[in-house]
Amino acid sequence: MHDRRAILARLPKTDRVLQEPALERSGWRRAVVKRRVQVELQRLREEVLGGRLREVPDAAGVARAVAATLERWARPRPRRVVNATGVVLHTNLGRAPLARRAIDAMVDASGYCDLELDLVSGKRGSRFDELRPLGRAVLEADDVHVVNNNAAALLLACTVLGGEGGVALSLGQMVEIGDGFRVATMAAAGGCRVVGVGSTNRTHPQDFAGALQGTLPECEGRPVRAVLWVHRSNFRQEGFVGEVSLRDLAEQAHAAGVPLVADLGSGSLGTGLSAHEPTIADYLSQGADLVLCSGDKLLGGPQAGIIAGRADLVERCRRHPMARALRPDKTTLAALHATLVAHGQEGVPSLPLHTAVGIGVDTLEARARSVVEALGRAAARVIPTRATIGGGSLPGDTLESRGVAVTVERVERAAAALRERDPPVVGRIEDGRLILDLRTVDPADDPIVVAALRSVLP
Ligand SMILES: *Cc1c(COP(=O)(O)O)cnc(C)c1O
């Protein structure tokens, strides 16, 4: 301990570090630099006390570390990366890459724009005026409202419609979507009671009847005011399972005079993607009164939450004070508008998501060959891979793909080296090999993949 104290005594003082030329000319405000120096000194102190550091840097050394941090801060964040994971909608990598037209629309809207001004009358308008009619047509819904993400859509819909009795949700649909977030918890976050119904593997109409009549013990005499259906978007159940179909559940809810809210999550519109995923229109036609989905899953747009369905219920959501707290900004609305236009036009939507899903294996094979040829090393070869849509959509559904596999001595270290490049290249490790799947790589980035692999191959 005495030893550690002696080492600590050699740590430079904050003011001394601040006098170093590297920090005096950093271009950052002194208060900001000072805080960072304090954080760095504290970190060093803890390292020493923990016995992990026996030699402390001098003032110039601490200043260099702080200057490097400040330089890193000055660069735009989040950074662009090359996604070679083969996961098309990778939540950690920003989910859907936006279409050129969506990016242009965001840039255009980023200055002054007619967000809440009706240019014809010169009067105040609503930020949803332009999007609503387009959304109704493209999503085939009576009305549409937009919030920050699907979690916000769920929170808003359940808070508004749950009232004093809350909502009923099958225990078999109490989905956790990732990072510890659970649908039932998000639904309840605004004070809405969520009554779990049935059992994990089987739920019957009489279970819901108990919640709708308020006879389930959990109801404490108060019947639920809405029924929630959650699409099991990221897992499947097999074996001794059974649930009430969406159609039957909607009928049951309507007979009790309450609406059915369906959390679809993924938001496929049914064009250019695998047909297994239900669409918003499917859910509405099966009797859902409101359908909720993410803008950045199978819709292929920006992070947003869409509430589509019965006009009176959408209107109640729109008018609730919470809607103001959850409203999207101008750039999101611009990107979403452009994304909906792409969906409304003929053919496969011209969105990067649909391009990545639709590329033929022959094209991927040819690109993988070119990468391997350009490398000219025996350690790199073309391999068949399985890409996935990801983003909690279509579990178990994989896409045939092609990748470049490299065999290197220290594979974790090679993967880390690729992530440290500019731009970072993110792949995956499988069977001790580093694999870069080309389905999720923009063909224009293939040379970046080549250069990155060259840097880690012997
Ligand atoms: C992804 C998902 C959500 C959350 O959507 P975000 O847009 O990420 O907030 C909610 N419900 C389901 C079923 C989902 O799949």
Contact between 202 and 242 under an 8 Å Cβ cutoff? The reply is yes
Q: Distance, CA 150 to ligand 1 centroid (Å)? A: 5
DSSP code of residue 380 = E
Residue 132 neighbours by CB under 8 Å, 6+ apart? 143, 144
- For the record, the structure tokens of 32 come out as 């900001």
DSSP code of residue 182 = E
Question: What sign for the dihedral angle of Cα 307, 312, 315, 317?
Answer: negative
pLDDT tens track, the chain, 458 positions: 668 999 999 999 999 999 999 999 999 999 999 999 999 999 999 999 999 999 999 999 999 999 999 999 999 999 999 999 999 999 999 999 999 999 999 999 999 999 999 999 999 999 999 999 999 999 999 999 999 999 999 999 999 999 899 999 999 999 998 888 999 999 999 999 999 999 999 999 999 999 999 999 999 999 999 999 999 878 888 999 999 999 999 999 999 999 999 999 988 888 888 767 889 999 999 999 999 999 999 999 999 999 999 999 999 999 999 999 999 999 999 999 999 999 999 999 999 999 999 999 999 999 999 999 999 988 999 999 999 998 766 666 789 999 999 999 999 999 999 999 999 999 999 999 999 999 999 999 999 999 999 999 98
Instruction: Residue 108: count other Cβ atoms within 10 Å of its Cβ.
Output: 13
Q: Distance, CA 285 to ligand 1 centroid (Å)? A: 21
Q: Distance, CA 294 to ligand 1 centroid (Å)? A: 6
Pocket probe for ligand 1: among 91, 149, 150, 174, the residue whose CB has the most ligand atoms within 8 Å is 150
pTM score: 0.94
* Per-residue model confidence (pLDDT) at position 394: 66
Rounded to 10°, the helix 150-162/311-319 angle is: 100
* Per-residue model confidence (pLDDT) at position 1: 62
Where do runs of H (alpha helix) occur along 270-329?
Answer: 280-285, 311-319, 321-325
Helix, strand and coil percent figures for the chain, each rounded to 5: 45, 20, 35
Minimal-distance CA residue to ligand 1 atom 1: 265
Pocket flag, ligand 1, residue 147 (CB < 6 Å): no
Pocket probe for ligand 1: among 148, 155, 177, the residue whose CB has the most ligand atoms within 8 Å is 177
Identify residue 185 by its one-letter amino acid code: T
* Per-residue model confidence (pLDDT) at position 153: 98
From residue 195, give the alpha-carbon distance in Å to each of 62, 174, 207, 217, 243.
Answer: 56, 11, 11, 10, 16
SS3 199: coil
Pocket flag, ligand 1, residue 175 (CB < 6 Å): yes
* Peptide bond connecting 78 to the previous residue in cis, omega within 30 degrees of 0: yes
Quote the CA–CA distance of 177 and 231 in Å, as a whole number: 11
Quote the CA–CA distance of 249 and 225 in Å, as a whole number: 14
- For the record, the structure tokens of 388 come out as 């996935």
Quote the CA–CA distance of 56 and 276 in Å, as a whole number: 59
Quote the CA–CA distance of 123 and 103 in Å, as a whole number: 28
DSSP β-bridge partners for residue 146: 306
DSSP assignment of 78-128: SPP-EE-SSEEE-GGGTSSPPPHHHHHHHHHHTSS--TTB-TTT-SB--TT
Quote the CA–CA distance of 375 and 90 in Å, as a whole number: 27
Pocket flag, ligand 1, residue 149 (CB < 6 Å): yes
SS3 346: coil
Q: Distance, CA 341 to ligand 1 centroid (Å)? A: 23
Contact between 425 and 449 under an 8 Å Cβ cutoff? The reply is yes
DSSP β-bridge partners for residue 82: 425
Quote the CA–CA distance of 436 and 382 in Å, as a whole number: 10
